[in-house]
Structure 1
């Protein structure tokens, strides 16, 4: 029977081999954290390598994602569908072992990591999901939700401010099944951290309300076992286990930044293996060590026991079991189509000229009671952004009940928690703040898009229409910036109907996050026929047309649609043939087939004008070299909204003058 150190050294050997073959990678952290990984994954980690999507598995997040070969080695050794050829292809095009862990690319990877701090912060959302589901679905004698969320993180993760935002919430929410193992090695890329990271981490986490265990020797198996047992025993406080380790353990470069982000080199790698008493050939695991790591049989038995418990639960509580399984599968309720249709029809019949932030709240009044998986929230702006409804109940940390989260002023942390809720399953998170503050959350939105998960951000106060608050609160570049993000749908609806359709499409987009860009000011209601209402979901459509081929196409979104329609009417009265196109979601429009896109933006119509109170350049792909954009070229200013509209040219009269210049 191999020793535990020999089992840990299997991780180290595979990391060395893969990084040397790739000629790139980060060997220091896998070498330093291998004993931590052995203690967790071989002693108490609940998973089934044959089914990486088992609902009640423990979740694992490698927050310091540059240590990816640690995770790939563990997944290979425990029996996931990650063969030795995949290990050999580390960091190569199309491999299942990319440079940083990527959700959806590698079986067993529970989230994409690499941007430091986001792993631990997203794990807070995963642990919250587990606690909420356990409270909602478990019954006496029937426990179907009962697992932990484990995180490995390093000094860099704790330097990032988002770790503060989310970890503070984790203690407030009493997430006792969140356990973080801190790889405290005192080294980052620039060298020894005592010149820039001297805070008392234990004191910081104790102040949050976490249980702090250690510091312990992160290379001592017995100390790790004891620390993990202590962490698991406290079910009311999240736990931080401080593990003192040596980066690059076993190599000549240990305890130095030189082993952080570069291969060890042939000679140092060979010497490290010798120091670790590892004499197996490259990419080879001795049979006894492979057998000691193999978790397939134990994992299958663990899942089989859970499935038996699930069968008994289903027999005793069939409705609850069906609801649980539906939500974990990501499917919307059976009556979803009817719910969405009523919401949209209600907006049409009401015909209200209101702010789209208010229209969004009205949509949520229909959606929240119909979809128990919706978990709302706001970054301390519930009343302003309209995310809290009459059916919203604030989360109670004592009972773990509620469907609304008060995140406080934590836009980034809020967004990482949303990602964690979505990744765990059982919830569709939505939350709001002002559009200008989307910049604080941007990197979490980017990871959501990269992972292809369902979450909805409600960004209000989306233009210079904010008015007197001035340029610090008037988004100019944010909306086009979000549109440039691959995999993200950005909706900027112009009225209540488009807002309702935006919500429908966002909730149906199971593998794509969405942003709603909403107005503070009231906007006019626009009449549409049935075909036009249906076409809203295509992202762009003809809202008003002329007889025959148009000589001018006006396109607009959101709060500028009203003045664009007014300009079109003025031009029509002057004998001009004008088409007005509404573009509430450019990403969905761009995804339509060519024939449809050409039917809306007819080729050959050279006179095109786009109107949006945001940075102008994004629209040039639609208007072409001969077209024009009525947009923002500067920041805004502090003044009433109507004054700003006049100053920056967002009036029907200005649009008409631009059109007439193009048509000369």
Structure 2
């Protein structure tokens, strides 16, 4: 509130500081310095600019606020409490404790008003780019005056965010695409855990971001009017994202720790906390004090925000009445609407067996027209990943109405930008690269799984069988590493039916990310005597064939399913019949009832697992008496058929190894 008395504003800012310091001290754990230094800019942003409704935290007309430096979580928690969100003093007092909603770093879905799970530095910075990208794309489709046309994406970021490489990728993308509704406040306090940033970070941040195409300003972090003017100017600069360098003092108010790294990641200590309160004219007791006049100030802020919400609601209702088709499109995005029986629609009129990346391409063209919220792209590999939505148009600077996003060679930022689109909840984003380069995306993939985001990964060229590009591009350990991430569903389909159902699963799964892992090379058909049982396939693991006299089972995924079927035919000719089980999604299969798992893999029958990858996770199915046929060394640069011979992935060699193993176990 610009008309509030300066003394009251100072008291309100100190309330934020002291709530943070008290919470960290009580928890005996946390980061007081950043909230204490950034309290002024946060107060100006939240009281004068940020549009929000504490009664409806996910209101689509709100501005978005991201605390990229999630270690300063008490800054956000204090603001949410003061702003009237469902965040009580009790929540603040339980900071960092077991079962508390006020986790050490903010977690999406745990506390209302938390827009992203932040903490791994740079991720929140890049998430914000995803929010702004999604806003620009959907707003362009809806037309002028639509209900999401004028919201902004704000973030507070710090030196650690700017040092991480993901922020460089994301800043470059945002500047190139002129995402003007992106406004970042840079907490320029010059301190990291190891000391002054000058020991490792000496670049000219202003020139760096200007080179990216950003609008850059610099202000004193204690000058509220200067911060306000900078925010006004940033909001007016709609052709470029904005960075406001706010010069702050970490741990402001602490007589002995202000401006020092000692205030970064540890409580002030009882004596220093008392000294800080004395220096700021703050009562020593009670802790977690919110003075009555500060409550009144924030009540006035909330009343102003409610007026903004009411005006927005009136305008939105008028827009809906005048634009019913666009309103229906907006609702489809808000709901991330997917047609009922999407699996039936995707599995009808399937193409014949082929490379699963080509099957995926055909399915994407089926899905896109009937799932309006589906959009995404590739890290400069669309022609190889086959992920272009035909006729969907491309997103470009100043022209955002398309559905195909060209992320450039920025896998790390691509993953985090997709997370931002998913956090915002207006798109079902998909992103793509070679499986080998999923490593570049891994931090964002892990956060998507942790935050339970609906993101779809299309990772192609999934094994040594991509051929001549050689071991730098041939994934070996990647499937095992990805399957180790909790709540990530890794789907490696073998044929048209499994690929279609993998896409259906990804489109309907709302509680976590799904990876479609696809082949470069064409695959032979998988023969099923009774046809494809879609319910069985959707369970993640099912029986493909089961002779009555089978003496063992081969479990396979992806390109190894038709290979296993050919090997089983050779073994059957020699009097050693076996069952074939396909497990396109191990995580889905392991989530099935025990009765289903036992029916697919009878406990009395020995198991061989076949996958052209490291395969350490498959021992849980094979057991100590089983056999895992995988790859435990890097690949080679050679044609696909030569590699199959070299690594033992031909029907004859698989049959030979299985026969030898069976003979040795009898």
| TM-score, normalised via structure 1 length | 0.96
1:162-561 correspondence runs (5 A):
162-214=166-218, 216-251=219-254, 252-279=256-283, 281-294=286-299, 295-332=301-338, 335-337=339-341, 340-347=343-350, 350=351, 352-528=352-528, 529=530, 532-547=533-548, 550-561=550-561
CA distance in structure 2 between the aligned counterparts of 1:391 and 1:554, rounded to whole angstroms: 42
Counterpart of 1:158?
A: 162
Give 3-state SS (helix, strand or coil) of 2:290's partner. Answer: coil
Q: In the aligned structure 2, how far is the partner of 1:472 from the partner of 1:399?
A: 36
Three-state SS of the structure 2 residue aligned to 1:243 is: strand
State the distance in 2 between where 1:228 and 1:477 align: 47
Confirm or deny: 8 A CA contact 2:460 2:517 kept in the other structure: yes
Of 84, 87, 92, the residue aligned with 1:82 is 87
Q: How many Å separate the matches in 2 of 1:381 and 1:399? A: 21
Q: Is the 2:191–2:197 Cα contact (8 Å) retained in structure 1?
A: yes
Q: Distance in 2 between matches of 1:71 and 1:342?
A: 44
User: How has the CA–CA distance of structure 1 residues 531 and 653 changed in structure 2, closer, same or farther, with 3 Å as cutoff?
Assistant: closer
Task: Could you list the structure 1 runs, at least 4 aligned residues long, displaced by more than 4 angstroms after superposition.
Answer: none
**3-state SS, counterpart of residue 141 of structure 2:** helix
**Are the equivalent residues in 2 in contact too, given 1:218–1:224 (CA < 8 A)?**
yes
Closer, same or farther: CA 420–378 of 1 in aligned 2, 3 Å: same
**TM-aligned CA deviation for residue 654 of structure 1:** 2.5
Structure 2 CA distance, aligned partners of 1:235 and 1:594? 56
- 1:336, CA displacement in angstroms? 4.5
Distance 1:433 1:144, change over 3 A: closer
Where does the alignment leave 5 or more consecutive residues of structure 2 unmatched?
none
- Matches of 2:169 and 2:396, distance apart in 1: 19
Shift of 1:426: 1.7
Contact 2:563 2:650 in 1 (8 A): yes
CA distance in 1, matches of 2:500, 2:573: 32
Distance in 2, Cα, partners of 1:125 & 1:213: 23
SS in structure 2 opposite 1:614? coil
Q: Distance in 1 between matches of 2:569 and 2:399?
A: 58
- Secondary structure of the equivalent of 1:43? helix
How do residues 39-78 of structure 1 correspond to structure 2 at under 5 angstroms? 39-78=44-83
Alignment of 1:95-110 (within 5 A): 95-110=100-115
**Equivalents in 2 of 1:244, 1:15: separation in Å?**
20
Decide whether the 8 Å contact of 1:449 with 1:512 is kept in 2.
Answer: yes
Q: Which moved more, 1:48-57 or 1:275-284?
A: 275-284
CA distance in 1, matches of 2:237, 2:346: 45
Taking the aligned partners of 2:252 and 2:227, their CA distance within structure 1 comes to 17
Report the TM-score, using the length of structure 2 for normalisation: 0.96
Aligned mates of 2:49, 2:271 — CA distance in 1: 37
1:301 Cα deviation (Å)? 3.2
Distance 1:164 1:584 in 2: 36
Contact 1:330 1:510 in 2 (8 A): no
Do the aligned partners of residues 29 and 422 (structure 1) sit closer, same or farther apart at CA in structure 2, a change above 3 Å counting? Answer: same
Report the 3-state secondary structure (helix = DSSP H, G, I; strand = E; otherwise coil) of the residue aligned with 2:649: coil
3-state secondary structure, aligned to 2:612: strand
SS in 2 for 1:42: helix
Q: Aligned partners of 2:174 and 2:380: how far apart in 1?
A: 17
- How many Å separate the matches in 2 of 1:401 and 1:626? 56
Name the structure 1 match of 2:633. Answer: 634
SS of 2:240's equivalent? coil
Query: Secondary structure of the equivalent of 1:274?
Result: helix
**1-structure distance, mates of 2:408, 2:332:** 31
Residue deviations 1:160-215, cap 9 Å, x none?
1110101111111111110000001111011011121000100000011110011x
SS at match of 1:346: coil
What is the aligned partner in structure 2 of residue 648 from structure 1? Answer: 647
Question: Is 1:658 matched up with 2:663?
Answer: no
Aligned residues: 654
The 1:533/1:646 distance shift into structure 2, 3 A limit, reads same
CA distance in 2 between counterparts of 1:601 and 1:510 reads: 29
Q: CA offset at residue 315 of structure 1? A: 1.7
What displacement does 1:531 show? 5.5
Contact 2:66/2:128 (8 A) holds in 1: yes
Q: Cα offset for 1:354?
A: 1.3
Note the C-alpha offset of 1:49: 0.8
**Cα 1:304/1:530, change in 2 over 3 Å:** farther
What SS is found at the alignment partner of 2:472?
Answer: helix
With 94-103 and 560-569 compared, the bigger mean Cα shift is at 560-569
Preserved contact between residue 369 and residue 391 of structure 1 (Cα < 8 Å): no
C-alpha distance in structure 1 between counterparts of 2:469 and 2:71, whole Å: 42
CA–CA distance in structure 2, aligned partners of residues 662 and 621 of structure 1? 18
- Using the alignment, how far apart are the partners of 1:107 and 1:275 within structure 2? 33
8 Å contact 2:332–2:372 — kept in the other structure?
Answer: no
Contact kept, 8 Å, 1:138 with 1:144, in 2: the verdict is no
Within a 5 Å distance, the mapping from 1:5-16 to structure 2 comes to: 5-16=10-21
**1:516 counterpart SS class:** strand
Structure-1 separation of matches of 2:615 and 2:541: 18
Partner of 1:112: 117
- What is the CA–CA distance in structure 2 between the aligned matches of 1:416 and 1:584, rounded to whole Å? 26
Distance (whole Å) between structure 1 residues aligned to residue 308 and residue 588 of structure 2? 43
CA deviation string 1:355-406 (max 9, x = no partner):
1111110111111222221112110111000001322311132232111111
Whole-Å Cα distance in 2 between the matches of residues 429 and 83 of structure 1?
A: 34
Structure-1 separation of matches of 2:292 and 2:98: 30
Task: Describe the superposition over 1:6-46 as per-residue Cα deviations: whole angstroms up to 9, x where unpaired.
Answer: 11111111001100000000011011100011010111110
**1:299-357 per-position Cα deviation (integer Å, ceiling 9, x unaligned):** 3333233222222222222222122123112332xx442x542321222xx3x231111
Which runs of no fewer than 5 residues in structure 1 stay unpaired? Answer: none
- How far off is 1:108 after superposition? 0.3
1:50–1:300 Cα contact (<8 Å) kept? no
Quick one: distance in 2 between partners of 1:174 and 1:389? 23
